[in-house]
Amino acid sequence: MIGIAGVARSGKDTLAKNLAQVVEEDLGSKVKILSFALPLRCQVNKLLEEFYHISAFTENEEEKKIIRPLLVAHGEQMKKRFGNKIWLNSLLGDVEELSKEKVFPIISDVRFDFEAEGLKESGGLIVHISKVGNQPANEIEAINDPLVFKAADLNHTWPSYEPDEMEKCMDHAQILWQMLKETKGEEWKKIYT
């Protein structure tokens, strides 16, 4: 399993999609991209749609700016109420089910050091990515991103690509996969093929 960390708009989803393709081709295994935020988004989606007329799953940058504080607040309150690992435990349950089906998981939104450590304890590696010129979206990211950076197995900075240059992201994914494979390649091959 690979966890991808970085602040908002650093390219975590882009890297996850490209890595998924590279891993599928190299291991010959199915890959599924998971997210800590998926259950959180599902929980608040109805409220956002009803009162803000915005889906929790929007890709629109302006809408994301509007709803991000509410998503963050809900996530933080759930952690206070049910413990820091509420989202981690939920995701690890999904990972366990996928491993039974030999599906390789990529987690596209590692935002806290305890999430990174939990994934590493479960056999994963963490890639922290930074995009040139990108800054944390809020105070929680500003505090936690340096901690996740330290917990990461691999740290990578890439330039800010224009939409018509996105094929260059695949080059990064291929290089990062080779580096990750040097650490866990044989172990992953035994589990997922």
- DSSP for 57-124 reads T---HHHHHHHHHHHHHHHHHHHHHH-TTHHHHHHHHHHHHHHHTTEEEEEEEE-SHHHHHHHHHTT-
Q: Is residue 53 part of a domain?
A: no
- pLDDT score, position 35: 96
- pLDDT score, position 164: 65
- pLDDT score, position 168: 74
- pLDDT score, position 72: 92
Q: Is 155 helix (H, G, I), strand (E, B) or coil?
A: strand
Angle at 157 between CA 132 and CA 67, to 5 degrees: 60
> In the structure encoding, which two tokens stand for residue 12, read together?
């975590």
> In the structure encoding, which two tokens stand for residue 96, read together?
């366990």
**CA distance linking residue 158 with residue 172, whole number of Å:** 8
Q: Is 143 exposed, middle or buried (0-12, 13-18, 19+ CB in 10 A)?
A: exposed
Q: Is residue 127 part of a domain?
A: yes
Q: Is 159 helix (H, G, I), strand (E, B) or coil?
A: coil
| Nearest in space to 118 (alpha carbons), one of 142, 146, 94 | 94
Q: Is residue 177 part of a domain?
A: yes
Q: How many domains does the chain have?
A: 1
pLDDT per position in the chain (193 positions), as tens?
999 999 988 989 999 999 999 999 999 999 999 999 999 999 999 999 999 999 999 989 899 999 999 999 999 999 999 999 999 999 999 999 999 999 999 999 999 999 999 999 999 999 999 988 889 988 999 999 999 999 999 999 988 776 666 677 888 899 999 999 998 888 888 888 7
**Domain range for 181:** 2-37+103-192
Tell me the CATH number at 160: 3.40.50
Q: Is residue 76 part of a domain?
A: no
Q: Is residue 128 part of a domain?
A: yes
Amino acid residing at 25: E
| Nearest in space to 15 (alpha carbons), one of 114, 110, 113, 93 | 110
Q: Is residue 12 part of a domain?
A: yes
Per DSSP, what are the bridge partners of residue 16?
A: none
Q: Is residue 165 part of a domain?
A: yes
Q: Is 177 exposed, middle or buried (0-12, 13-18, 19+ CB in 10 A)?
A: buried
Q: Is residue 74 part of a domain?
A: no
- pLDDT score, position 192: 84
